[in-house]
Amino acid sequence: MASTVIVHQLAGTKKALEACRLIEALYLAGKRTVVWVNDAGRAAVLDDMLWTFSQSSFIPHELWDGAGEASDQVVLVTGTLANPNGADVLVVVDSLAQPETAKEFREIHDLVAQAAEDASKAAGWEAAGFKVKQVQGVSRRGR
């Protein structure tokens, strides 16, 4: 059975705060999660934000260095998609060039901003064989 991709249609062009809210909801629901971003600079920004985006939030996580396994429930991955913590959930913050590489994840969340580069993301997932469900924004509750 194909994984389901939940495409979160965002109202604006900024993703980082919405990504933090989604990651927090998944963390609170007890889900092991990989968060994928294009590059180390963007990963560093998200890493900082996960510690500071809300006064009441605490999301233990690690920025994976590409070597070995990771033990935290939430792991930020850059470059080539990997699953160093044995996660079932993937959060895609940027565009994943080869969506089929995400097939090992049971649940995939893709943040889609109001930006030209995100316009065809849902179609890309469908073309790669995934079932796509579109929602508005990010729920603050665990899934």
At 69, which CATH number? 3.40.50.10110
Sign of CA pseudo-dihedral 105, 30, 133, 136:
negative
Specify if 18 maps to a domain.
yes
Q: What is the pTM of this model?
A: 0.92
The values of phi and psi at residue 131, to 5°, are -80, 130
| Total domain count, the chain | 1
Specify if 51 maps to a domain.
yes
**What gap in Å lies between CA 128 and CA 15, rounded to an integer?**
23
pLDDT digits (tens, 9 = 90+) for 64-111: 988 889 999 999 999 889 999 999 999 999 988 899 999 999 999 999
Band of pLDDT at residue 58, cut at 50, 70 and 90:
confident
**Which domain range does residue 89 map to?**
4-136
